[in-house]
A and B are shown apart, each in its own frame.
Chain A
Amino acid sequence: MQNLTNKKWIIIFLSIIVVCSTAIAVFHILPGGRVAVITKDEKILYKIDLSSVKESYTLTVGGNVVLVENGYISMQSADCPDKLCVKQGKISEVGSIVCLPNKVIIRIDRNEEIDAALR
């Protein structure tokens, strides 16, 4: 009888460990997808998982048009004077596209390993 309860406790203990470590693992792996975040005037408008995009489409954000493709995102057009954001082309892994005049940002949530990027 004493033995049986011991076993029971060991099983409970092990299953708790398994559940917790799975939870931790999932927690760490989940944000690994390439999520592009589009903000205007410091407010988040869209969060898009670029790896799950099947057909390309565009989004209108104020005077800017964002092109969303499988694995890539870019500024297709903008009504700002310098159009630096359009010239920047597509991004897929590192960095962000910023349209300063219209206060539109497209950023791909960075690799957790990098804390800041010099420009």
Chain B
Amino acid sequence: MKRIISVLFIILLLFSLCSCTQKPVKTQFFAMDTIMTLTVYGENAVTASEKAKNEVLRLEKLLSVTDENSTVSQINSSDGKVISVTDDILIPIKAAKEINTLSKGALNITMLPSSQAWGFLSKDYRVPNNSELELLLQKANMDNIVLSDNGVSCINGTQIDLGSVAKGYAAQRIIDILSQHEITSAVISLGGNVQTLGTKPDGSLWNITVADPLQSDTQTAGTLHTAQTAVVTSGAYQRNFDINGKTYHHILDPETGYPSDSDLLSVTVLCENGTYADGLSTALFVMGSEKAYELYLSKEIIFEAVFITKNNEIILTDGIKDNFTLNENGTYHYAESHQ
């Protein structure tokens, strides 16, 4: 009898071993002009994922620059009047203002008229001429976004586009909602804007691939191994068009109004907060590796980064030197100066 019990016990034990490879709940949907994937582990995964998806769909209606009923569009067409807003607008704007200051203007969310001139919103692409861009740049001024106790106003014809922080903010909100549902293990990707919650269920680190900026659809430059963090890449390859054999990409340099022409092919930022990771990646891409590294060393804002330069070099910040595996079959190598 004892033996029968002990055998049954062993069988139970083996079965529990089998179920240790816990299957996550995967949710995939379209929102914010991209595809979103939520991978959530744990008991409440189904409910939590559903709530998170609904939150993104709600935020999309507020933050969209193309939806004329969105709060952002209301601000843009208010002619300087104060529009009352919630934290969902205030938090991304405040983050953008802070990054604007830290990056000495490299992130600017008032470039909407310039982006429109290039056709990045309508997808009716063209190359605006110098004088047109100069005129449009006069409206690009972060100081014209005035925050008051209960609202936002954009004065002097300035218009905002939260595109450089909206997905990051949405990712942060998803992670917050998942936490509220006692989820301790999840990884989400909002069109390549990645954020993780905790570690994998077995305690190991998440593996997140960094795209090869020259063959982003098929190749990786390497893999990051991280615990809880937000990870966002900005690169010239993400949205661009060709006219007369020249490629123009969507990250405009606020100083010139032309696509940013720094030494970088892409930059990947790791930061605790999703909104900041998103905004910083755009800022660092425009700044170029040298100024971006200075900002890193200044510790005015805490982040880590993977820079991929036009010389096919990869530069890692000090804090992630042991958390990156280079794709040995790829075209990139570590920069000597930062070994």
29 contacts between A and B (CB under 8 A): A9-B7, A13-B10, A16-B10, A16-B11, A20-B11, A20-B15, A39-B28, A42-B29, A82-B123, A94-B209, A94-B218, A94-B219, A94-B220, A100-B34, A103-B30, A115-B39, A115-B196, A115-B200, A115-B207, A115-B208, A116-B194, A116-B196, A116-B208, A116-B209, A117-B209, A118-B194, A118-B231, A119-B211, A119-B216
- Knowing A98-B35, A100-B33, A105-B28 are in contact, say whether A91-B206 is a contact too (CB < 8 A): no
B35→A115 contact, CB < 8 A: no
Please, which residues of chain A bring their CB within 8 A of the CB of B232?
118
The CA-CA distance from A27 to B21 in the complex, in Å, is 10
Contact A119 B28 (CB under 8 A): no
Interface residues on chain A, number (Cβ under 8 Å): 31
A-side contacts of B17, CB under 8 Å: 24
Q: Does B110 contact A (CB under 8 A)?
A: no
A113 contacts partner chain B, Cβ-Cβ < 8 Å:
yes
- Verify if A59 is at the interface (C-beta below 8 Å from B): no
B217 CB within 8 Å of chain A: yes
Q: Which residues of chain A have C-beta atoms less than 8 A from B211's C-beta? A: 117-119
- Pick from B7, B29, B35, B233: contact of A118, CB under 8 Å: B233
What string of 1s and 0s marks CB contacts (under 8 Å) between B186-208 and chain A?
Answer: 01110110101000100000111
| Cβ of B56 to closest chain A Cβ, rounded Å | 13
- Given known A114-B209, A115-B200, A118-B209, contact A91–B123 (CB-CB < 8 A): no
Q: Judging by beta carbons under 8 Å apart, are A117 and B208 in contact?
A: yes
B7 and A117 contacting across the interface, CB-CB below 8 Å: no
Binding site for A on B (CB under 8 A): 3, 7, 10-11, 14-15, 17-18, 21, 28-30, 33-35, 37, 39, 123, 187-189, 191-192, 194, 196, 200, 206-211, 216-220, 223, 231-233, 238, 268
Asked if A53 is an interface residue, CB under 8 A from chain B, the answer is no
Nearest neighbor of A20 in chain B, beta-carbon distance: B14
Give the nearest-CB partner of A117 in chain B.
B209
Binding site for B on A (CB under 8 A): 9, 12-13, 16-17, 20, 23-24, 27-28, 39, 42, 81-82, 88-89, 91, 94-95, 97-98, 100, 103, 105, 113-119
Partner of B30, one of A13, A42, A97, A115: A42
B271 to chain A, nearest CB (A): 14
Q: Please, which residue of chain B has its CB at the minimum distance from the CB of A9?
A: B3
